[in-house]
Structure 1
Amino acid sequence: MDLLFRILEKIFNPISDKYKDIANGVLLALMSLAWWFLVLITVERIEQYSPELLVRVFSLIGVSIGVYVAIWKLVNDQQWRRSEAYLEQAKELFEKAFNALKLDPETNYPVNDRYAWLSSSRLLLAALDLGKKIEDRSHKETFEEYMEFWRVQFADLLKLDQRDILENDYFYQEGALIAYTPEDRAPIPERAIAVLYRFLQWPEGREDRLSYEDNFSDEELKRIEVFGASSIYHYCRERRRAIRGD
């Protein structure tokens, strides 16, 4: 049954999700035109006009369109359910990847454990791979926002943008960088660190919704000065002065 759905998707969803509705509409229109063309040819070749035959032809057209709509809905419903399943699995994997980095109660920072970092990076990659399989547009948007939420959580936990957050030997034990024994603390693989570090970076080409928002207007600042938090007004006033060079 799954194979049948995949074949139907190849036929009825040949274009990306972005243009899926347009593609399906065009395909339906082309099928309708093709049927009308066949009807006209059939009518033209009928020597004696037969209303009964025309009724049969129009009935066939209606049935064919109904079948197409039913198949289209079946394929899209199946795609939506599969997309939803990928989204839910990705959510769970993001959370598991975060929880894999156990905190050291003394430092309040993830323990420098090889397997913890390996598990976290692998789970994170699995979540991102599932995100690539999501086809439904609304699910894609939800995944993007959920991914951004976890990006902030990981950044707040790891703080890899702070130069002095970690000791130089956090990722390895002195004398056990390449070769190590079971008694040594195994080094954390560079690739595992790279996966988490790259995830924390702002994705190239990602739209920042905040860039479309404006700063406070003068009217808003006047209201804040009287009724709002004085720290907001003070900050905005000093910022404007600094920009003007006052």
Structure 2
Amino acid sequence: MLLAGVGIVGLTLFAVFNPDRSSADASAERLSPRDLLRAFWVSPAKHPDFAWAFGSRLSLYLGYNIVVAYKLYILQDYVGLGADAVALLPLMGAVALGGLLLTTVLGGRLSDRLGRRKIFVLVSAVIVGGALLIPLALPTVTGILLMAGVAGLGFGCFQAVDTALISEVLPSKTSYAKDLGIVNMAQALPQVPPTGNSAAYPTGARNRRDDRRHLGPVFGVLGGLAVLRVKAVR
């Protein structure tokens, strides 16, 4: 509740003291609510590269969140730490952050230098998918930390290079901000309970046979394969 309150207050103060003064002609025609909603539909048939790039990001984020969003319960129940699992969460975050920062910088710079995007996105997605398999073979604290570190390495590179790739296949040169907002949905939707979270625990139970966390690696790899369908970027 405190964090939500800080967000609301901060955004309100920003909107009040930093108003958006448009550089457009004041007499320009304004969008109706219907036109505004229609603007957020991008036809996959007309813009297939954008659609495949969107699907690639959506799939990888879905696979990642199916597992990582429930790391506390995995530590408590699957690894068997019980109440001690809470103390391990900051260490997992630190390990993942170290790998993420390293490959965000190195992967992005190397991609720019070579002028290649898709191979970096594919390899990083496969790394993330492979990392999510580690706890299945090694259900221990060591296995969880390995997963966090390796997934961080893959995720950092994916974030850096996939963002560059998507910026090169945006549908319209006159609506970059709107199209990037659509792209943001690809990483936000998998974190919403009706999508990514319910895919892992469809009934809300943590130890039932319908647990679908094993789908995480599958979606991760599919995210990498989907980017191969993008034609306009190497």
Normalised to the residue count of structure 2, the TM-score between the two structures is 0.24
Larger radius of gyration: 1
Instruction: Return the structure number with greater relative CO, CA threshold 8 A, min gap 6.
Output: 2
